[in-house]
Amino acid sequence: MNDDIWSWDRAAEVFPDLLMTFLQVTLVATVLGSAIAAVLGLIVAITRRVMPKWLWMPVHAVMEFIRMTPVVIQLLFAYYTFNSIDGLTIGIVVLGIHYATYMAEVYRSGIDAIPKGQWEAATALSMSRTRTWVKVIIPQAIRTTLPALGTWVISMFKDTPFLTVIFVTEMVREAERYGSRTFTYTEALVLAGFIFLVASYGTSVLLRKMENRLATY
């Protein structure tokens, strides 16, 4: 293959750096951000169910604001507001909060889909409200919403390149840095895209296996 188009030597040279950056930054941001989003989104969904409507409205307004504004703007705002905190930490928290607003809606739909009889059965068995949520409602809601939650995890993963706006060197930024040094971007960007593809596909396969396993319970 013509070296002007593709060089295996350049690909071999840049791949270790891309993989290391993926593991240390991109993957870490996605895993921790997803954990924040999943937990916070569930809390918000439950809060919406138990909170009086007049008290919920301000929370809903904040969620709508976060959901309707670009994550890039949120990253920049948080970075320059909390400039004593390192960029990766800010990025993880911002991505987590941003995607929590979407996951909260997913959880809400899952909770609303649970038959009313489940609530009535828990009441008939004298289960406390907390026990009903923990043992009956939440497990069923997670089981039914897992595919949609997984979609948002993959979306967050593909949004990690936005961390470059707050000077976090994630995988795509590392590819650009290599290109600026060698004046050739093809190998680095193609490999970065390939790593994204493999990781996204692997995540979707894992989520399908989790969904199938949960369906057997």
Q: pLDDT tens digits, residue range 164-185?
A: 999 999 999 999 999 999 888 9
Question: Which one is predicted more confidently, 39 or 209?
Answer: 39
What CATH architecture applies to the domain 21-168? Orthogonal Bundle (1.10)
Q: What is the 3-state secondary structure (H, E, C) of the chain?
A: CCCCCCCHHHHHHHHHHHHHHHHHHHHHHHHHHHHHHHHHHHHHHHHHHHCCHHHHHHHHHHHHHHHHCCHHHHHHHHHHHCCCCCHHHHHHHHHHHHHHHHHHHHHHHHHHCCCHHHHHHHHHCCCCHHHHHHHHHHHHHHHHHHHHHHHHHHHHHHHHHHHHHHCCCCHHHHHHHHHHHHCCCHHHHHHHHHHHHHHHHHHHHHHHHHHHHHHCC
pLDDT digits (tens, 9 = 90+) for 31-82: 999 999 999 999 999 998 888 888 889 988 999 999 999 999 999 999 999 9
> Whole-model pTM?
0.89
Q: What number of other Cβ atoms are within 10 A of residue 103's Cβ?
A: 26
Question: Which one is predicted more confidently, 97 or 216?
Answer: 97
* Average confidence (pLDDT) over 74-100: 95
Instruction: For the chain, give the percent of residues with pLDDT over 90.
Output: 57
Q: What number of other Cβ atoms are within 10 A of residue 215's Cβ?
A: 10
Question: Which one is predicted more confidently, 110 or 207?
Answer: 110
- Give the per-residue pLDDT at 18: 95
* Average confidence (pLDDT) over 180-196: 92
CA 121 → CA 118, 124, 136, distances in Å? Answer: 5, 5, 10
